[in-house]
Chains A and B, each alone.
Chain A
């Protein structure tokens, strides 16, 4: 497949891996966090870790949108879905995420709620057009990549006068999450999570550009290399991070230059600014309450804001006591450190969100990598 196979080439991978092995300082450890779930998935799917020297470790970050949505927001979505006359449109992964007591959107659907799986917000708009007698609510989640399409859909609904369409907005921001990790006690004070740099997001950065990461490189002295989602991108980014660490540098480098510019997609940014504004704070699974870390719909578009139209009761729900999703999302623990992993918690019966999405650290390790922990080398 043209333009894809080139980035998965095994011969190039072995050459790159050999170069990394030559360049690492055997006397030290390198610990890089891949922020994005897309990277987590690619690393597991292609077995990238098998090509890295033992002293280079990749730590999974909080960049899986399904994983970081707190249980409270999920339960608000379930409550919205169960209102008479409502049809809730959601991405497939969200349907299986467990709420408290094991409830989920799938279970709500089995009880009679009208929950539809969609591939994009366009499908939700189409549902609203096809079912004028129903209130169609799109359960919007995701980082900066999925936010512009939501903005476009809201403008489209306004232009068409689609009065039965609204959005339950849960869009979150990448830079705030990175700042929250760097400010966390484990990284700052306790030193229990040592981070030597970040593999920066691919798709998110096509929208926001590389400029927002410059602050982290300068302020926290952590190198950032923005990388594409193909396995060779990840390997190349690791090599660039190793070089920065070896040289004592910390700057933002762009491995994904084929799609990311310093300023990003200004048109998309403008669209987002037109429809959304910052929330003062937002609850994240794992990171807790993070200031200015999420978006809500501006009052000018209030007609399309499900939170305004239906006023669902805000909820805060603690995670399952034994579930380590929170610590895993901060890079403090690994999936196999959770005692529910692979016993009570599997993709068929997930206890925490990280076991649901294929971008989640637990699901990725379970589905692709668990032979490593089951059979130590």
Chain B
């Protein structure tokens, strides 16, 4: 005789919604986990339904861990959703250590009343993003908060990866003379979210650039001797401006950038123009900054451009010997100015 079915009725993914019992530790929670998360993320470690993933690591070398919470509003936006973002955000944080991301853990805070159909869309999108990135979501957690105490869903992901042998990237490693590269046009993600929120319509809709960047990092590492790759960063919140200031401060260098060299898509420039935003401070979710030894800058740029995610890569400036650690910009107009840290928050709830 076969054992009785654990969940006599299937989870109603069309009309159902999150109830407090989905976080209560009982049968309802077990059903949500099994029929939604385990089914979508499908891997042996997760299917074991333990509170942790036990992995046959077979690792040697240095482990890289990163964690990132995602609270973006709206949950769905052109070019992605909170699910794909939760994968890309953490994969990229791991990848910026010149590492190969391997596993993710995902923690969900769900709001009572949130439609299961939307949750299923988000979970599917996460699963797809993880598969495409070659990482497995191996463990997780689910909590439910009362209606009005969350905003649909918040997702925290933690990523584990392995650093490539010999590469030691870090914000403190830029030196005067090093070349600053960016892997493509800036500001797409922030403006896509903003346009969505403000109901702005463009002839060509602006899509988030949300993408997993470890392939691009791999392409870079393949052509550079390890010491030539000094810094890798993905300029998310605070944009290029904030990230370059962080690096300048940590490395004790200044920077000289050329405004005309920084790629910005035309609709993003236009949207920034009338929203009063500066693309330099608008968030990205699929771009990286690479600071490299000047002797290898051309090779690095060519490697970025040869990769589908780096076609619009550009050399935007150089690091300088400057005790004041100013990130300076030569404007297209012919004047000069500082690119400062951004004060306050330009756009809240962006990722």
Contacts and interface: CB of A to CB of B under 8 A. Distances in A.
Interface of A: 1, 4, 8-10, 13-14, 17, 44-51, 96, 119, 231-232, 346-348, 363, 366-371, 374-375
A277 B260 CA distance: 48
A371 B328 contact: yes
B334 interface: yes
A159 to B, nearest CB: 24
B338 A51 contact: no
Given A44-B337, A47-B333, 19 more contacts: A8-B333, A10-B334, A13-B334, A14-B334, A17-B334, A46-B335, A47-B330, A47-B334, A47-B336, A47-B337, A50-B336, A51-B333, A51-B334, A96-B344, A347-B344, A348-B344, A368-B340, A371-B338, A374-B324
A348 B343 contact: yes
Nearest to B326: A371
B21 interface: no
17 contacts: A1-B270, A1-B273, A4-B273, A8-B332, A10-B331, A13-B333, A45-B331, A47-B334, A51-B333, A51-B334, A231-B333, A231-B335, A348-B344, A368-B340, A369-B337, A371-B324, A374-B326
B142 to A, nearest CB: 31
Interface in B218-241: none
A348 B330 CA distance: 25
Contacts, number: 71
A49 B333 CA distance: 11
A45 B326 CA distance: 15
Contacts of B270: 1
A13 B336 CA distance: 13
Nearest to B276: A358
A27 B199 CA distance: 56
Contacts of A51: 333-335
B12 interface: no
B266 interface: yes
B269 interface: yes
A368 B338 contact: yes
Contacts of A13: 333-334
Contacts of A366: 340
Interface in B296-351: 324, 326, 328, 330-338, 340, 343-344
A10 B332 contact: yes
Given A374-B324, A374-B326, A47 B331 contact: yes
Contacts of A371: 324, 326, 328, 336-338
Nearest to B344: A96
A369 B334 CA distance: 14
**Chain A, interface SS category:** helix
Nearest to A16: B334
Residue in B198, B326, B344 with the greatest tally of chain A CB atoms within 10 Å? B344
Contacts of B326: 371, 374
Nearest to B198: A119
Nearest to B266: A1
- Ranked nearest first, the 8 interchain pairs of A and B with the lowest CB-CB distance are A47-B335, A347-B343, A368-B337, A50-B335, A46-B333, A367-B340, A47-B336, A10-B334
A9 B330 CA distance: 13
* Listed residue (B266, B324, B334, B340) with the most chain A CB atoms within 10 angstroms of its CB: B334
A370 B326 CA distance: 9
Contacts of B273: 1, 4
B322 to A, nearest CB: 8
A334 B73 CA distance: 41
Contacts of A232: 333
A20 B29 CA distance: 74
Contact of A46 (B269, B331, B344): B331
Contacts of A367: 338, 340, 343
A202 B266 CA distance: 25
Interface in B182-231: 198
A99 B86 CA distance: 40
B269 A45 contact: no
A13 B333 CA distance: 6
Interface in B262-299: 266, 269-270, 273
Contact of A1 (B269, B324, B343): B269
Contacts of B343: 346-348, 363, 367
Given A1-B266, A1-B270, A347-B343, A50 B334 contact: yes
A231 B336 CA distance: 13
Interface string B29-72: 00000000000000000000000000000000000000000000
Contacts of B340: 347, 366-368
B300 to A, nearest CB: 28
A363 B340 CA distance: 11
